[in-house]
């Protein structure tokens, strides 16, 4: 687990980026299924930011590039942490399609990043009440706090003072999303068929 938390700039996961391979995956049930759901999202984010860093848009400034590399490394660390925690219960590697993102265009990249980060935070908040294991809940809580920082940075980069617009309710809390809603929203990026029918709902 500790290895998966590394943020060293030289850190490279054992399969970084993950090589697509599965046509279908079943997330499973219970806490393992919920962590596999989170693992699928971290695979997506790690793959996305790896592509962003490998093909930065024209005119990207040094600060933006540095922060995007930081986010990439965080996502790789999250992916590897969940991979290690899940062990033999983990799903396989997912396949992705980022053809709807123009990686040469700053706006296209940042809007896609905003969408993924906002969905990611809402996803963890939706999963938290369903987890039975205190240890798994701790892992999810540590990850979502970092994901929220990513979301805030991306939003501020797009438009100053917009870091909570549309995602924080009148009660001052983030709005959660159920796994089915999350998977529906990220389906355009994930070509692997994901079976989430056995995930707990309450």
The residue extents of the domains of the chain are 29-191
What is the CATH number assigned to the segment(s) 29-191?
Answer: 1.20.1260.10
Q: What is the pTM of this model?
A: 0.89
pLDDT for 58: 92
Q: What is the pLDDT of residues 60-97, one digit of tens each?
A: 999 999 999 999 999 999 999 999 999 999 999 999 99
User: 110 by DSSP, 3-state: which?
Assistant: helix
91-125 burial, b at 16+ Cβ within 10 Å, e below that, comes to bebbbbebeebebeebeebbebbbbbbbbbbbbbb
pLDDT bucket at 19, cuts 50 / 70 / 90: low
Residue with tokens 């809007």: 111
Going by pLDDT thresholds of 50, 70 and 90, the confidence category of residue 164 is confident
């Amino acid at each position: 687990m500790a290895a998966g938390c590394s943020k060293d700039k030289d850190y490279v996961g054992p399969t970084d980026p993950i090589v697509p391979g599965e046509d279908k995956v079943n997330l499973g049930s219970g806490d393992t299924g919920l962590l596999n759901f989170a693992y699928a999202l971290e695979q997506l984010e790690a793959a996305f930011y790896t592509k962003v860093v490998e093909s930065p848009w024209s005119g990207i400034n040094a600060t933006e590039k540095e922060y995007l590399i930081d986010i990439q490394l965080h996502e790789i660390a999250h992916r590897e942490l969940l991979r290690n925690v899940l062990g033999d219960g983990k799903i396989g590697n997912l396949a992705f399609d980022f053809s709807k993102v123009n990686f040469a265009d700053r706006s296209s990249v940042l809007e896609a990043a905003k969408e993924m980060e906002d969905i990611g935070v809402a996803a963890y908040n939706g999963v938290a009440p369903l987890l039975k294991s205190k240890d798994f809940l701790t892992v999810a809580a540590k990850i979502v706090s970092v994901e929220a920082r990513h979301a805030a940075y991306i939003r501020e980069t797009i438009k100053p003072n917009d870091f909570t617009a549309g995602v924080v309710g009148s009660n001052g809390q983030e709005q959660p999303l159920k796994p089915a809603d999350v998977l529906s929203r990220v389906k355009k990026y994930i070509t692997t068929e994901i079976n989430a029918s056995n995930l707990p709902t309450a």
